[in-house]
């Protein structure tokens, strides 16, 4: 039997092919802010130009666009910042004393959480564990919180009690309370507690107290007729209103002394003596089917992007993915050349679009942090040195950025835009596990997804841009194949509509979808969710990445496990950096 081994080109072939590039032949790199790089050095191949009139553009330094947001445990060094934060949040109320904070940190440090943004403490929460049966009425904050000292903390208790949450008014609207509540929920799951109980303020009540009782006010808030700056976010974070507590904080004039009794139930709670049989790791995905349109200003583009990010965030999505080159509509803002004047070189329009990359990076980074969501930002043309690349950027909700160069360039992209190919397949660490991105045409090459799966990716995002149904179905069918071959969820997102003024991108065809392996535990035909064809839409779907892990070992067919590596293999890179898959 003949044995076939798929490898990198021979040394002689590589030398001939890489005459203009020091990095040619290296096609694999794991990109992560937390994990060590395993493959070739960062960077795309470069091309030398003899035209000295071309201005060389240095690669953008993504760190200059990143935002530093960090959810961490509080320390005593945060005390002064906490006092300042409390004075801004609760004017007129007595702030924490240092001995109270010292006691909290000594007794239950895991329950004292802060959020730091760009080096500044902008939010915090304090908690204590108690036995639910001992505080059934939840009527006295000083009693339950031990006047802030939490000496009543019971590590054997079943309930996490939220003493306080503070969010700096200057930074409200950045989903900081959601981050704090998510951290509390995760702590509750880790400690196998049954519930979270909070006694929440209703500071908006003061404006209605002369005409409504506290119960009536709460009902208006529940019905979304009134927005309360504390109760409304708590309800949005899955807390259930159990009742009202009069005289809870007598010094709280805005709430007229009232507090809400709210509860969040831990569905993962396991009573003593029982076992949890199957792990679940749910990730919520949102794919945007983007309507291309002419713009009057960059603000028009900003408002449309923010609308979709806001929708995805409101539905608690972990990821929102935009299509490849959905930014092409920005070309409607570019001044046309004078009649009869020839373009200065190939890809003139694409290079004009690249002038918006800085604004695009700032916009997406800000939205990812402010809306607490990971954004796969479609792709955007970017100039590095004198070469033009099509790059998909990942904007993590912790403020960091990654990028995936499009590796395979179509004939039309070379002809019309002069796009240069990238040279690295990235695998990114995120707070939902490892992911990878294949930009449109790249998904038609199975080796890239195979490498990503080998490096631990469970989610593959495919932003695409196709003009008619044949091109779309090439992407769609290949994406489905990559899902089956590698036991991956694959998310495809494309553009619809027309741009009559943009050559090579004037018409669009798309039907965005979330695809899965074809097997009994998954959706029929391997289509977890899909949009209607050719209309602006979003696709929202929950996937269980733990099921993907199990399917690789126990599926009806086990494509990954049953590969004939005795007959064929894929080798990425060379020498000590080579990765065999």
The catalytic site residues sit at 324, 406, 440
> Are 286 and 538 in contact, with CB atoms under 8 Å apart?
yes
What's the rounded Cα separation, in Å, for the pair 475 and 513? 11
Give the C-alpha distances (Å, rounded to integers) separating 333 from 294, 339, 379, 417. Answer: 8, 18, 18, 18
169 close to 228: Cβ distance less than 8 angstroms? no
Q: What are phi and psi of 93, to 5 degrees?
A: -100, 150
CA-closest candidate to residue 383, choices 358, 408, 416, 409: 358
Which residues, in sequence order, are CB contacts of 272 under 8 Å at separation 6+? none
* 3-state SS, residue 541: strand
Place of tokens 């806001």: 310
Q: Name the burial class of residue 63, with classes exposed (0-12), middle (13-18) and buried (19+) by CB atoms within 10 angstroms of its CB.
A: exposed
- Cα distance between residue 72 and residue 180, in whole Å: 10
d(CA 366, CA 66): 9
Q: Which of 163, 22, 148, 45 is nearest to 424 (CA)?
A: 45
Residue 242, classed as helix, strand or coil, is: strand
HEC string of 64-77 equals HCCCCEEEEECCHH
- DSSP summary character for residue 135: G
d(CA 421, CA 411): 12
For residue 443, the SS3 value is: helix
What's the first-to-final CA gap in the chain, in angstroms? Answer: 21
Look-up: residue for tokens 């959020």? 115
56, two tokens: 């060389």
Other beta carbons within 10 angstroms of residue 579's beta carbon come to: 18
DSSP string, 59-113: PP-GGGT---EEEEE--GGGHHHHHHHHHHHSTTSPPPPHHHHHHHHHH-GGG-E
Find the helix or strand (DSSP H, E) in which 286 lies: strand 282-291
Structure tokens at 175: 């989903």
The residue assigned the tokens 């880790």 is 190
Q: Residue 34 has what DSSP assignment? A: S
- Which tokens go with 60? 């953008």
Strand order in the sheet with 433-437: 428-430, 433-437, 459-463, 489-493, 513-515, 527-530
Nearest residue to 104 via CA among 156, 164, 177: 164
């Amino acid at each position: 039997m003949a044995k076939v081994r798929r490898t990198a080109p021979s040394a002689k072939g590589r030398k001939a092919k890489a005459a203009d590039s020091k990095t040619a032949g290296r096609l694999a790199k794991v990109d992560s802010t937390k994990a060590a790089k395993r493959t070739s050095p960062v960077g795309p191949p470069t091309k030398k130009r003899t035209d000295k009139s071309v201005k060389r553009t240095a690669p953008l330094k993504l760190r200059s666009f990143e935002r530093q947001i960090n959810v961490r445990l509080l320390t005593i060094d945060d005390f002064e910042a906490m006092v300042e934060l409390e004075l801004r949040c609760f004017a007129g109320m007595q702030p924490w004393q240092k001995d109270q904070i010292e006691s909290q940190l000594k007794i239950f440090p895991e329950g004292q959480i802060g959020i730091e943004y760009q080096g500044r403490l902008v939010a915090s929460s304090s908690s204590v564990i108690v036995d639910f049966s001992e505080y059934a009425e939840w009527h006295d904050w000083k009693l339950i919180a031990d006047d802030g000292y939490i000496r009543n903390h019971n590590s054997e208790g079943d309930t996490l009690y939220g003493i306080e949450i503070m969010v700096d008014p200057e930074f409200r609207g950045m989903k900081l309370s959601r981050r704090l509540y998510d951290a509390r929920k995760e702590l509750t799951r880790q400690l196998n507690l049954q519930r979270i109980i909070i006694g929440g303020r209703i500071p908006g009540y003061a404006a209605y107290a002369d005409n409504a009782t506290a119960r009536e006010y709460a009902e208006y808030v529940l019905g979304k007729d009134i927005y309360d700056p504390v109760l409304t976010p708590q309800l949005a974070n899955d807390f259930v209103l159990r009742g009202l507590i009069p005289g809870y904080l007598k010094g709280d004039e805005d709430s007229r002394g009232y507090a809400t009794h709210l509860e969040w139930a831990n569905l993962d709670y396991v009573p003593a003596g029982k076992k949890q049989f199957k792990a679940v790791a749910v990730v919520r995905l949102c794919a945007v089917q983007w309507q291309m349109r002419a713009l009057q200003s960059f603000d028009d583009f900003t408002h449309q992007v923010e609308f979709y990010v806001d929708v995805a965030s409101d539905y608690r999505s972990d990821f929102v993915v935009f299509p490849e080159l959905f930014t092409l509509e920005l070309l409607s803002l570019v001044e046309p050349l004078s009649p009869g004047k020839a373009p200065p070189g190939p890809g003139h329009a694409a290079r004009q679009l690249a002038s918006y990359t800085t604004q695009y990076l700032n916009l997406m980074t800000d939205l990812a942090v402010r809306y607490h969501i990971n954004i796969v930002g479609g792709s955007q043309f970017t100039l590095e040195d004198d070469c033009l690349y099509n790059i998909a950027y990942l904007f993590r909700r912790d403020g960091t950025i990654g990028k995936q160069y499009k590796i395979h360039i179509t004939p039309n992209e070379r002809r019309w835009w002069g796009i240069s190919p990238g040279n690295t397949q990235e695998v990114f660490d995120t707070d939902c596990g490892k992911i990878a991105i294949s930009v449109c045409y790249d998904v038609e090459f199975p080796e890239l997804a195979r490498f990503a799966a080998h490096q631990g990716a469970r989610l593959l995002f495919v932003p695409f841009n196709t003009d008619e149904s044949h091109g779309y179905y090439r992407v769609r069918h290949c994406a489905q194949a990559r899902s089956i071959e590698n036991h991956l969820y694959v998310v495809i997102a494309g553009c619809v509509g027309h741009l009559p003024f943009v050559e090579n991108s004037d018409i669009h065809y798309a039907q965005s979808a979330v695809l899965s392996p074809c097997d009994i535990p998954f959706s029929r035909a391997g289509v977890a969710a899909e949009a209607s064809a050719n209309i602006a839409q979003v696709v929202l779907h929950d996937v269980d990445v733990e099921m993907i892990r199990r399917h690789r070992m126990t599926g009806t067919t086990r494509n990954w496990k049953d590969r004939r590596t005795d007959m064929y293999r894929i080798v990425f890179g060379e020498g000590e950096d080579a990765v065999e898959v």
